[in-house]
Structure 1
């Protein structure tokens, strides 16, 4: 059975980790009420950080619910996520989305992130070949 915990090594912990992603994000994935920025890492596992501002999500209970659901989603999908540092940003209106819809949004975002990370990590083989027409 795969490890299903959420240890410190799966989290972005300090401002340097967050700014590393914000400065040059390799990937950007949008969902309803949220956005994820990601940058490839060499750690062999994903790390996630959350940005939920009071300006976008007024009530603490809504901010905490969003963070809890994102952490749970990452915890359950950690073995399927690519080796990237991810910052998930909450946008206005995320508090109006119910839990089931939020889980579906996150699942779709992780699938797109996995697909896009594979494309970024392995550039197309035909990129250097020119066509003579």
Structure 2
């Protein structure tokens, strides 16, 4: 899993680090249900306005959608 949080999108380092920390933790908790693929999370400006709970809920929904991807053999 890779992630990118551009300074143009989230100005303050504190907010960028919070976003990255929450994404890493969420991925760690859900990685067992995800297919063996590479994922890249890219932050948008609106991400800094979300509370921790809102961001966790959004990521949970995202991991659920990705876990439904068909497995290629």
What is the alpha-carbon root mean square deviation over aligned residues? 1.3
Match of 2:43 in 1: 90
Q: Match for 2:54 among 94, 101, 111?
A: 101
- 1:85-105 CA-to-partner distances (Å, cap 9, x unmatched) read 000000112111000010000
Match of 1:72 in 2: 25
SS at match of 2:29: helix
Q: Would you tell me which structure has more helix in proportion to its own residues?
A: 2
User: Is it true that 1:121 corresponds to 2:50 in the alignment?
Assistant: no
Which structure: larger Rg?
1
Q: In the aligned structure 2, how far is the partner of 1:83 from the partner of 1:112?
A: 14
TM-score by length of structure 1 reads: 0.52
Q: In the aligned structure 2, how far is the partner of 1:77 from the partner of 1:114?
A: 9
Q: Would you tell me which structure has more strand in proportion to its own residues?
A: 1
Divergent runs of 4+, >6 A: none
Select the structure with the greater relative contact order (CA < 8 A; seq sep ≥ 6): 2
TM-score by length of structure 2 reads: 0.93
5+ long unaligned stretches in structure 2: none
Q: In the aligned structure 1, how far is the partner of 2:17 from the partner of 2:26?
A: 14
